[in-house]
C-alpha cells in the first residue's frame, strides 16, 4: 500500500484526489449502491451501428494511425490495447503545443491539449471505422462535454484528431449517422480537430490500467470498459494487451 501510494505522488493533484477518494469510499460504495451507479462505462456501453462510410479493408504494407481523446487516457489506452489489429496504443497529449505537453501543465486545462491515445493499427485486420465504432461504443461517452466520468475540464474532452482528410470525412459522417438515428440520449459532442500534433505522455502513464488494475479509479471507471469490449466485440477482443513499456530495460 505504501509503495502504491508513493507512486501516486507523480500524478497531479486532481487525479491523486480521485484515487485517494476512491481508496476511502470503495468499501462503502457497494453497500450504498453508489458503486453500481459509478459504473457509467459499463451501464452506458452499447453496441452501436457500424459506420455506413468506412475505409475498405485492404492489403497494405504500412500501418495506419489515428489519435482519439475520450477522457482519462488510462482507460482509452487500456481498451485499444485489447483490440485485435491494434499494434500500438500510446497515451499522450494532442491539441496544444509541444512546450505544454506535460501532465501537470495539461491538467490546468489551459493548454488546448486533450489527454489522447495514438492508435496504430493494421488495416488488413481492422478498419478505421471499426476503430471508431469501439471508441463510441465502449471507450467513452461521446455526449459528455469537456468531462468524462469524474474528470472535468477541456483536457478530458471527446475529440478525434484525424491523420488524413479521409479519416476526417469518415468521422464526420459517422457522427452525423449516429446523431440522426438517436443512438444516444443526447447529441454527440465529439470534436474533429485535424492538423494537430501528438506528444507521448510520461512513462508512468503508459500501460497504467494493466500495471494498476487494482486502483479504485481503474476498478470503478475503466475495468468495466474492458468487460464491455469483451462482451460487445468478442471477435475483436484479445486477452493479452499490446503494451508500450514491454521489453524496455528497467
Active site residues: 72
- For residues 113 and 198, what is the distance between their CA atoms, to the nearest angstrom? 9
- For residues 171 and 166, what is the distance between their CA atoms, to the nearest angstrom? 9
- For residues 18 and 26, what is the distance between their CA atoms, to the nearest angstrom? 11
The upper half-sphere exposure of residue 67, i.e. CA atoms within 13 Å in the direction of its Cβ, equals: 26
Beta pairing, strands 191-192 & 147-148: unpaired
- For residues 120 and 127, what is the distance between their CA atoms, to the nearest angstrom? 11
The alpha-helical segments, DSSP class H, found in the chain are 2-7, 13-32, 34-38, 40-44, 73-80, 103-106, 128-134, 165-180, 208-211, 216-221, 223-232
Beta pairing, strands 158-161 & 191-192: parallel
- Tell me phi and psi for residue 199, to 5 degrees: -130, 125
Residue 164 three-state SS: coil
Whether residue 117 contacts residue 211, with contact meaning beta carbons closer than 8 Å, is answered with: no
Count CB atoms within 10 A of the CB of residue 17.
12
Amino acid at each position: 500500500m505504501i509503495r502504491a501510494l508513493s507512486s501516486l505522488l507523480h500524478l497531479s493533484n486532481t487525479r491523486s484526489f480521485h484515487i485517494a477518494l476512491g481508496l476511502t469510499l470503495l468499501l462503502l460504495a457497494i453497500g450504498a449502491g453508489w458503486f453500481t451507479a459509478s459504473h457509467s462505462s459499463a451501464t452506458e456501453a452499447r453496441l452501436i451501428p457500424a459506420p455506413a462510410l468506412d475505409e475498405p479493408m485492404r492489403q497494405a504494407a504500412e500501418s495506419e494511425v489515428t489519435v482519439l481523446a475520450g477522457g482519462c487516457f488510462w482507460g482509452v489506452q487500456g481498451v485499444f490495447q485489447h483490440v485485435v489489429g491494434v499494434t500500438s496504443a500510446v497515451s499522450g497529449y494532442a491539441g496544444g503545443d509541444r512546450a505544454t505537453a506535460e501532465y501537470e501543465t495539461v491538467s490546468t486545462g489551459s493548454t488546448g491539449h486533450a489527454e489522447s491515445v495514438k492508435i496504430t493499427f493494421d488495416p488488413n485486420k481492422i478498419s478505421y471505422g471499426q476503430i471508431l465504432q469501439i471508441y463510441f461504443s465502449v471507450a467513452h461517452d461521446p455526449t459528455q462535454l469537456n468531462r468524462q466520468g469524474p474528470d472535468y475540464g477541456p483536457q478530458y474532452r471527446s475529440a478525434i484528431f484525424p491523420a488524413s482528410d479521409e479519416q476526417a470525412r469518415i468521422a464526420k459522417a459517422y457522427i452525423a449517422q449516429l446523431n440522426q438515428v438517436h443512438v444516444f440520449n443526447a447529441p454527440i459532442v465529439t470534436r474533429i480537430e485535424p492538423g494537430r500534433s501528438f506528444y507521448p505522455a510520461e512513462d508512468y502513464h503508459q500501460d497504467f490500467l494493466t500495471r494498476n488494475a487494482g486502483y479504485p479509479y481503474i476498478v470503478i471507471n475503466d475495468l468495466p470498459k474492458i468487460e464491455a469490449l469483451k462482451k460487445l466485440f468478442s471477435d475483436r477482443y484479445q486477452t493479452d494487451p499490446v503494451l508500450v513499456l514491454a521489453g524496455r530495460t528497467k
